[in-house]
Amino acid sequence: MSFTTILSFTLYRGRVFLKNAQKHRFKVLGVGIGSSLLGYLNSCKVYAKGRTDLNDLKAGWMAEPLTDINTLDQESDDMKRRMEMMIMRIQGDICRSFERIEGKRKFLVDRWERKEGGGGITCVLQDGEVFEKAGVNISVVYGKLPPAAVQQMKSRGKNLVGTELPFFAAGISSVVHPKNPHVPTVHFNYRYFEVTCEDGSKQWWFGGGTDLTPYYLDTQDVKHFHQTLKTACDKHGQDLYKRYKKWCDEYFYITHRGECRGVGGIFFDDVEEPNQEGAFRFVTSCAESVLPSYAPIVRKHKDDAYTAAERQWQLLRRGRYVEFNLIYDRGTKFGLYTPGARYESILMSLPLTARWEYCHAPEKGSREDELMKILKNPKEWL
C-alpha cells in the first residue's frame, strides 16, 4: 500500500485500520518520517463500524462528545459527524499541548447542553504562569435559525429559501492571551454549517482562519507563523494562502481606529470548493497547523523578561482586541443572535484584563511605534 493511500485513508476517510500500515511505515517511505506526522498518525486511530477502536479516539478528547457515540460510529461517513470528531481531536491535542507548556495548571472542562439542540465543550485555563487566559471551545448545535441569522446569511449572498430554517453548526474556536507581553495572542476558528431550506434542499459551507496578534514585533516569529499556514494551504491550492491572507488583513480591521488587530494569518468563509470532501480536507489541514505555527513562539518567549511599561502596552493593545470582538466579529454576532446562546462561552475570547487610555499614542521610534506602523499598513511576510 502506498504512503499516499495510507495518508488519504487516515486523514480523510477514517475507515481503514492502520496497524499494519504503520508497522511498515519506514519501508513505505524509504526515509524517516518526521515525529510530528507520526504523532498525528498514532493519535488519529481509525475504526470500523461495530469495533471498539472508537474508544481510542475518545481517549484523546477532553469530554464526552455532544452526539451519542453510537451515532458517531454508525454515521461516520456523514460530514456532520466527521466534523465533530475532527474538532474533538484538535481540541484535545491543543489543550494537552498547552498544559504541557503551562506546567501545573490544567484546563477547566465545562460540557454544556443547549435545550434547543446540541451543546458544547468549553475548556479554559486562567491565571497560569504562561497563559493568563486560554480558551479552546467546541460547539455542536442544531435547531431553527432565527430570522435575524437568516437575514445575516442572505446579506452574504446565501440563497436561503424560508425564514426559520433547520440548521446544524459544528466548530472549534480558541483565543489565547499569554501573560508575557513578548508572547503574542493567537486566535483560530474552524467551522462547518449546514442549512435545510423550505424546499428540502441543503446548503453547506466551511469557514475559519488563524491569526496572530503580537504586542512587540519579532519578524522571525511572524514569518514562521505565516509560513506554517502557507504550507497547510499549499497542499490544497497554490493560490489559497495569498487569497486568504488578504481576506484576513481586511477582516480583522478595526475601522474606527484605522488599524488591523494584529499581523494577520488566514481567514475564509463560505468555502464550498472544490467539493465537500476537498473543503473538509483543507479545513482539517488548517486546524492541524495551529500548534506548529504557535507553540514554538510561546516556548521561545514565555520566560523573557519584561517591564511594567511593556505590560501596560500589552493591556492597551488588548483593549483594541476587545473593541474588534464586540463591535465587528461575525462569529460573536451570530452567537448572540442564536436562541439559547451560552454567553460565557461566546465571551470566552475576551482577556481577563485590558486597558484604555484617553488619546494614547506610542513614542516615536519606539518598539511600540514600530508595531503600530505595521498594524496601519499590513505587509507581505513571505
Q: Helix/strand/coil (H, E, C) string of 76-116?
A: CCCHHHHHHHHHHHHHHHHHHHHHHHHCCCCCEEEEEECCC
Burial class of residue 178 (count of CB atoms within 10 Å of its CB; 0-12, 13-18, 19+): buried
pLDDT tens-digit readout, 127-186: 999 999 999 999 999 998 877 777 777 677 677 776 778 899 999 999 999 999 999 999
**pLDDT of res. 342:** 79
Burial class of residue 115 (count of CB atoms within 10 Å of its CB; 0-12, 13-18, 19+): exposed
How is 196-256 classified by DSSP, letter by letter?
E-TTS-EEEEEEEEEEEE-SS--HHHHHHHHHHHHHHHHTT-TTHHHHHHHHHHHHTEETT
Per the DSSP assignment, residues forming a β-bridge with 204 are: 194
Per the DSSP assignment, residues forming a β-bridge with 134 are: 125, 176
Q: Contact at 8 Å (CB) between 339 and 328?
A: no
**pLDDT of res. 47:** 38
From 177, 182, 187, 224, active-site residue? 187
Find the DSSP H helices in 103-158: 147-155
**pLDDT of res. 89:** 96
**pLDDT of res. 207:** 96
Q: Contact at 8 Å (CB) between 279 and 272?
A: yes
Q: Contact at 8 Å (CB) between 323 and 257?
A: yes
pTM: 0.83
**pLDDT of res. 200:** 83
**pLDDT of res. 12:** 37
pLDDT tens-digit readout, 241-273: 999 999 999 999 999 999 999 999 999 999 999
Q: Can you give the residue ranges of every domain in the chain?
A: 67-376
What cell was used for 219?
A: 519578524
List the chain residues with pLDDT less than 70. Answer: 1-52, 154, 157, 162, 337-339
Selection from 307, 320, 324, 329 nearest residue 356 by Cα: 320
Is residue 187 flagged as an active site residue?
yes
What is the separation of C-alpha 171 from the centre of its chain, rounded to a whole number of angstroms? 8
The amino acid at residue 212 is L
CATH superfamily, domain 67-376, is: Coproporphyrinogen III oxidase, aerobic (3.40.1500.10)
